[in-house]
């Protein structure tokens, strides 16, 4: 019991101490505010006035042309004129879109979409450039990224053979052979078809189907066997390919 009384006494003492501190703080604050009222109100005013000015700025009346009274005939004829101009512009814009098949490749999400006119035929996974910068000492380096922009199909081949460039050997830690050495020719790795985009970039198949949807290529575009066949049959030489 004595212990409990002691605890209660101590608690009371502490409560009184806290109350004293609290009271003193309030008294000090009131005293500070009273003695510095001019300074503080000036500071507050200096902050409030710009805010008020900003509010007033936004309330500034609109300028520009006022609506004048117009008769119905004039309004209708103006509407018709502008509608004609819009449809003319629309026709011009539609003419920009390819009428036949074209391919759109999203290299950020590794997806392709095959379109015919404004209709989407197929959307699925693909693989694009890995953004690997391969350095072979200070002299040589290769950047494995898929170029972006508008391209055209330059040519189509069946059962393509891959003529391995230098980086394919450097990447595997092999010595680089001569230009037409037999080790440069790899059969069956590009799938059944290949479509050329120019500058060595191809749309082709892959043995690594599990990597579709990931950025793993050396700049080419890899499709699954089924999608590659569809794309091969749909796109002709000259068909447009948009890569972004």
Partner 1 sequence: MQKIKKIGKLIYKLNWKFKVFYLFLTVFFVFLINIAIAPLHKMQEFEGLVNSDSLFLEKYDSIYNHPEMRLLVKEKAFKEALLKLAESDSIQLVINLSDSTVNLSIKGVMIHQTKIRSIGSDKIFDEMPLIQEVKMFSKPLSVYSQYATFEKEPVVVRHAPKDTLDAALNAWQPDTLIQNPAFMILSVGYGINLIFEQEDNPVFQDKWQKFNFYNRLRFINSIRAVSNFVRLKKHDYHPAITIKMPVDDLRAIYRALPNNTFIVINF
Binding site for partner 1 (CB under 8 A): 39, 42-43, 46-47, 49-51, 53-54, 57-58, 60, 62-68, 70, 74-75, 78-79, 82-83, 85-86, 89-90, 92-93, 96-98, 102, 104, 106-110, 130-137, 143, 145, 148-150, 170-174, 211, 214-216, 240, 242, 244
Residue 34 phi/psi, 5-degree rounding, is -65, -45
Measured from the CB atom, the residue of 103 and 193 that comes closer to partner 1 is 103
Closest to 113 (Cα-Cα) out of 242, 226, 236: 242
Measured from the CB atom, the residue of 20 and 213 that comes closer to partner 1 is 213
Measured from the CB atom, the residue of 104 and 189 that comes closer to partner 1 is 104
| Minimal distance, residue 26 CB to partner 1, in Å | 26
| Minimal distance, residue 109 CB to partner 1, in Å | 6
Strand bridging mode 132-136 / 140-144: antiparallel
| Minimal distance, residue 110 CB to partner 1, in Å | 8
Closest to 121 (Cα-Cα) out of 129, 112, 130: 112
Residue 181 phi/psi, 5-degree rounding, is -65, 145
| Minimal distance, residue 174 CB to partner 1, in Å | 7
Query: What are 23's two structure tokens?
Result: 């009271």
Distance CA 115, CA 123 (A): 9
DSSP string, 115-132: EETTEEEEEEE-B-B--E
| Minimal distance, residue 143 CB to partner 1, in Å | 8
| Minimal distance, residue 185 CB to partner 1, in Å | 19
Measured from the CB atom, the residue of 122 and 240 that comes closer to partner 1 is 240
Measured from the CB atom, the residue of 19 and 88 that comes closer to partner 1 is 88
Measured from the CB atom, the residue of 168 and 229 that comes closer to partner 1 is 168
User: How buried is residue 204: exposed, middle or buried, by Cβ count under 10 Å (0-12/13-18/19+)?
Assistant: buried
Residue-level length of the chain: 244
Distance CA 182, CA 59 (A): 79
């Amino acid at each position: 019991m004595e212990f409990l009384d002691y605890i209660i006494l101590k608690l009371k003492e502490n409560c009184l101490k806290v109350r004293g501190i609290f009271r003193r703080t309030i008294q000090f604050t009131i005293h500070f505010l009273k003695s510095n009222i001019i300074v503080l109100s000036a500071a507050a005013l200096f902050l409030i006035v710009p805010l008020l000015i900003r509010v007033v700025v936004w309330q500034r009346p609109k300028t520009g042309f006022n609506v004048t009274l117009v008769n119905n005939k004039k309004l209708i004829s103006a509407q018709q004129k502008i509608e004609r101009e819009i449809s003319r512009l629309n026709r011009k814009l539609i003419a920009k879109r390819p009428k036949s098949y074209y391919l759109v490749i999203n290299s950020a999400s590794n997806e392709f979409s095959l379109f015919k006119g404004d209709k989407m035929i197929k959307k699925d996974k693909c693989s694009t450039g890995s953004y690997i910068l391969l350095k072979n000492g200070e002299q040589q380096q290769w950047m494995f990224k898929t170029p972006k922009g508008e391209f055209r199909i330059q040519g189509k081949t069946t059962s393509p053979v891959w003529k391995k460039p230098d980086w394919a050997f450097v990447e595997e830690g092999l010595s680089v052979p001569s230009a037409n050495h037999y080790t440069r020719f790899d059969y069956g790795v590009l799938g059944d078809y290949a479509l050329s985009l120019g500058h060595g970039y191809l749309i082709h198949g892959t043995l690594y189907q599990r990597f579709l949807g990931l950025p793993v290529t050396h700049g080419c575009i890899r499709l699954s066997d089924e999608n590659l066949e569809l794309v091969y049959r749909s796109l002709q030489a000259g068909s447009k390919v948009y890569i972004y």
